[in-house]
Amino acid sequence: MFNPKTLVKNTVFGPPGVRMRTIRHGLLRGRKFPIDTANMSMRLVGLWETEIVGAVRRLARQATVACDVGANNGWYTLYFATCPNIRRIFAIEPDSALLKEARENISCNDPAMVEKVTIIEKFVGDRDDDQWCKLDTVLRGVNEPILFKIDIDGGEVDALRGARSILKTGRCALMIETHSAELEQGCIRELQELGYRTTIIKNGWYRAIIPEHRPIALNRWLSAERDS
- Where is pLDDT greater, at 177 or 206? 177
Q: Return d(Cα 122, Cα 98) in angstroms, integer.
A: 12
**If DSSP codes are grouped into helix, strand and coil, which group holds residue 201?**
strand
Nearest-CA neighbor of 65 among 136, 139, 144?
Answer: 144
Q: Return d(Cα 41, Cα 85) in angstroms, integer.
A: 29
In degrees and rounded to multiples of 5, residue 28 shows phi and psi of -105, 30
Q: Return d(Cα 213, Cα 162) in angstroms, integer.
A: 30
The pTM assigned to this predicted structure is 0.90
Nearest-CA neighbor of 183 among 151, 218, 158, 157?
Answer: 157
- Where is pLDDT greater, at 122 or 228? 122
Q: What is the mean pLDDT of residues 92-101?
A: 96
- Statement: residue 192 has pLDDT above 90: yes
- Specify the CATH architecture of the domain 49-226: 3-Layer(aba) Sandwich (3.40)
Tell me the pLDDT tens digit for each residue of 214-226: 656 678 999 999 8
Give the dihedral sign, CA 45/49/51/54.
negative
∠ CA 71-124-50, nearest 5°, is: 35
Tell me the pLDDT tens digit for each residue of 109-132: 999 999 999 999 999 999 999 999
- Statement: residue 205 has pLDDT above 90: no
Q: What is the mean pLDDT of residues 179-196?
A: 95
Task: Write out the DSSP string of 123-187.
Answer: EESS--SSSEE-HHHHTTT--S-EEEEE--TT-HHHHHHTTHHHHHHS-EEEEEEESSHHHHHHH
CA 8 to chain CA centroid, nearest Å: 29
Q: What is the mean pLDDT of residues 7-21?
A: 64
In the chain, where the domains are located: 1-48, 49-226
